[in-house]
Each structure stands twice: as structure tokens, then as C-alpha cells.
């Protein structure tokens, strides 16, 4: 079975490290981006199997980044998961993401959401 690639998009280095560690332990290949713009470029160039996007980023918010990925024909087929603080309600409007993961993450729940999103694609 090939190793699946996951793109993490988050402006927080500590969040990237925590999520990358969990995903690597889960058997995934992980690539990262520190902004929505970089995430869009990497998603187009590398065509990951799944993208996880932080909800709270400067310049372009996570929900907007998800919408941009969904609207771009080069990335529209890639499933996207929105990662946001657990105390925030889900963003309003039509969802351009398959699931919402709360942070701080609970690793088994986080990995289960990733597995489910990958299985559904």
C-alpha cells in the first residue's frame, strides 16, 4: 500500500510539529505550509491525498483557504479538513471541508478523522 501524503497548513510552528508528529506516527508522509498562499501553491504542485488547514491564519483565513482549494479545478478533488480551536463554533456558510478537527488535538480522534476523510475520497 502506498504511503499517503498529507499537507498541513498552519502559521503556528508548534501546531505543525504536533500534527506532523502524530501523522508521521500514523504512517503518513507529511508536507507543511506556513500560510494559506503557500498551502495553495503546495497543494497544486504536490497533489497531496488530504489537506488540513488551520482556521485562524493571517491574511487569508482557514475557511477562505478551504474555499479557494475547493474552487480551484487543480485541487477541488483533494479532501480538506478544517482545524480550529475546540471552543469555536463551525464557521457559517457552505462548507468547503469534509470535517472539522478541534485543537488542541486528541491524537486518536485526530488520526481517526484523517483516516475517515481519506477513506471517503
What domains are defined for the chain? 5-120 (3.40.50.2300)
Q: Residues 54-75: pLDDT tens digits?
A: 999 989 999 999 999 999 999 9
Q: pTM of whole model > 0.85? A: yes
Pairing of strands 29-33, 50-54: unpaired
Higher pLDDT, 121 or 99: 99
Closest CA to 51 of 118, 120, 104: 118
- Strand order across the beta sheet in which 80-85 lies: 29-33, 5-9, 50-54, 80-85, 99-103
pLDDT in tens, 20-52: 999 999 999 999 999 999 999 999 999 999 999
Amino acid at each position: 500500500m502506498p504511503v499517503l501524503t498529507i499537507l498541513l497548513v498552519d502559521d503556528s510552528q508548534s501546531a505543525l510539529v504536533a500534527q506532523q508528529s502524530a501523522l508521521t506516527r500514523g504512517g503518513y508522509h507529511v508536507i507543511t505550509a506556513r500560510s494559506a498562499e503557500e498551502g495553495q501553491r503546495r497543494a497544486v504542485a504536490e497533489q497531496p491525498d488530504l489537506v488540513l488547514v488551520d482556521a485562524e491564519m493571517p491574511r487569508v483565513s482557514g475557511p477562505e483557504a478551504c474555499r479557494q482549494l475547493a474552487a480551484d479545478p487543480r485541487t477541488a478533488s483533494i479532501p480538506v479538513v478544517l482545524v480550529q480551536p475546540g471552543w469555536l463554533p463551525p464557521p457559517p456558510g457552505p462548507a468547503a471541508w469534509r470535517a472539522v478537527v478541534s485543537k488542541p488535538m486528541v491524537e486518536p480522534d485526530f488520526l481517526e478523522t484523517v483516516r475517515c476523510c481519506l477513506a471517503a475520497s
